[in-house]
């Protein structure tokens, strides 16, 4: 897949790489909050604000278009939730959360 930021894509989101984007560094040493089975129920951010949560990052092992759909559904405008596309599974692989779903879904996916 080519980098959508280099094409005439009309997406409002950035294409990020875990090797070059400092946003991924903010996740190091943090609780990844993977105890919930239903991601859509886990939102919104405001319920965690009083517990000292300083940011919510959703890392999606998928392409920009799937990331856009999740963002639109779960984090309406003004919501301080950050979505990061990990289309090649670099971040998920580095954290041991990757599995090969190539035969079923066309590429790697996260275990959670």
Q: How many domains does the chain have?
A: 1
CA distance 5 to 23: 17
Q: Give the model confidence (pLDDT) of 49-98 as tens digits.
A: 557 777 778 888 888 888 888 888 877 777 778 888 888 888 888 888 88
Task: State if pTM tops 0.85.
Answer: no
Average pLDDT over residues 36-40: 46
Which domain covers residue 84, as residue numbers?
14-110
Q: Has residue 5 been placed in a domain?
A: no
**Does residue 1 sit within a domain?**
no
Per-residue model confidence (pLDDT) at position 36: 40
Q: What is the largest CA-CA distance in the chain?
A: 43
Q: Which pLDDT tens digit goes with each residue over 85-111?
A: 888 888 888 888 888 888 988 878 888
Domain-located, residue 9: no
- Contacts of residue 94, defined as CB under 8 A and 6 or more positions apart, other chains included, come to 18
User: Does the residue 80 lie in any domain?
Assistant: yes
């Amino acid at each position: 897949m080519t980098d959508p930021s280099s094409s005439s894509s009309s997406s409002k989101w950035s294409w990020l790489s875990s090797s070059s984007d400092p946003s991924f560094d903010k996740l190091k040493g943090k609780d990844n909050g993977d105890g919930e089975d239903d991601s859509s129920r886990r939102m919104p951010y405001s319920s965690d604000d009083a517990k000292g949560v300083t940011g919510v990052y959703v890392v999606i092992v998928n392409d920009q278009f799937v990331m856009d759909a999740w963002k639109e559904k779960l984090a309406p405008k003004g919501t301080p939730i950050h979505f990061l596309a990990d289309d090649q599974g670099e971040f998920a692989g580095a954290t041991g959360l990757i599995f090969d779903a190539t035969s079923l879904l066309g590429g790697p996916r996260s275990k959670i």
